[in-house]
Amino acid sequence: MQFALAPDNSILLQGLASELIFTQDATGRYLSFYWQAAAEHGLDPEQVAGQIMVNTFRPVALDSFCERIRQVLARQLPKRCQYQFQYGEHLVWFDLVITPILENTAANKVLVLGRRLVSTDGSSTQESDMLFGADPYYKLLTKIAKKVRSTLDLDTIWHETVNNLGEALGVNRCLIFAYDRQARKLQVQAEYVQQPFRPVVGQKLNLTEHNYLHEALLRLEPIVVEEFGADTFDQQSEMVVATCYQNEPNGLISLQQCDRRRQWTPAEMELVGDLADQVGTAIAHATLYKHLQEAIVQAEEASRLKSQFLANTSHELRTPLNGIIGFLKLVLEGMADDPEEQMDFIQEAHRSALHLLNIINDILDLAKIEAGKMELDLAPVKLGDLMNDLDDFTRNQAEQKSLSFEIEVPQTRDPIIVYGNYQRLLQILLNLVGNAIKFTHEGGITVVASVEIPKKKIIIHNQEFPGWVKVQVTDTGIGLSLEKQEKLFQTFYQGDGSRTRQYGGTGLGLAISQRLIEAMGGEVKFFSLGEGLGSTVAFTVPLYQEPFLVS
pLDDT at 229: 60
Give the residue among 243, 222, 233 at the shortest CA–CA distance from 179: 243
Q: Name 3's bridge partners.
A: 119
CB-side neighbour CA atoms (13 Å) of 77: 7
470: number of Cβ within 10 Å: 18
Domains along the sequence of the chain with CATH: 3-135 (3.30.450.20), 140-290 (3.30.450.40), 375-545 (3.30.565.10)
Q: How confident is the model at residue 265 (pLDDT cuts 50, 70, 90)?
A: confident
Distance CA 214, CA 185 (A): 10
Mean pLDDT, rounded, for 337-346: 89
Does 59 have pLDDT greater than 70?
yes
CB-side neighbour CA atoms (13 Å) of 388: 5
Tell me the CA distances in angstroms from 146 to 139, 196, 358, 365, 403, one per residue in order: 10, 31, 60, 53, 68
pLDDT, the chain, mean = 81
Better-scored residue on pLDDT, 509 or 243 = 243
pLDDT at 470: 95
| pLDDT per position as a tens digit, 2-56 | 333 333 333 333 335 678 999 998 888 899 999 888 888 788 888 888 888 877 8
Omega prior to 196 cis, within 30 of 0 = yes
pLDDT at 500: 46
Listed range (254-263, 429-438, 485-494) with the worst mean pLDDT: 485-494
Show contacts of 238-243: CB within 8 Å, 24+ apart: 239/264, 239/268, 239/269, 239/272, 240/212, 240/213, 240/216, 241/216, 241/272, 241/273, 241/276, 242/179, 242/216, 242/217, 242/276, 242/280, 243/176, 243/276, 243/277, 243/279, 243/280, 243/283
Does 287 have pLDDT greater than 80?
yes
Task: Record the pTM.
Answer: 0.49
Torsion-angle region of 456 (φ positive above 0: left; ψ -120 to 50: alpha; else: beta): beta
Q: What is the DSSP code (8-state) at residue 168?
A: H
Give the residue among 541, 547, 546, 525 at the shortest CA–CA distance from 378: 541
Distance CA 300, CA 293 (A): 11
Residue 344 CA, distance from chain mean position: 58
Strand 458-460 and strand 467-475: pairing? unpaired
* Amino acid found at 248: E
Better-scored residue on pLDDT, 216 or 89 = 216
409: number of Cβ within 10 Å: 18
pLDDT at 171: 86
Give the residue among 310, 387, 360 at the shortest CA–CA distance from 512: 360
Does 307 have pLDDT greater than 90?
no
Distance CA 253, CA 240 (A): 6
Residue 326 CA, distance from chain mean position: 53
Mention every residue, 6+ apart, whose C-beta is less than 8 A from residue 104: none
pLDDT at 446: 95
The answer to whether the CB of 114 falls within 8 A of the CB of 5 is no
Give the residue among 172, 153, 161, 160 at the shortest CA–CA distance from 243: 161
User: What is the DSSP annotation of 398-448?
Assistant: HHHTT-EEEEE---BSS--EEEE-HHHHHHHHHHHHHHHHHT-SSSEEEEE
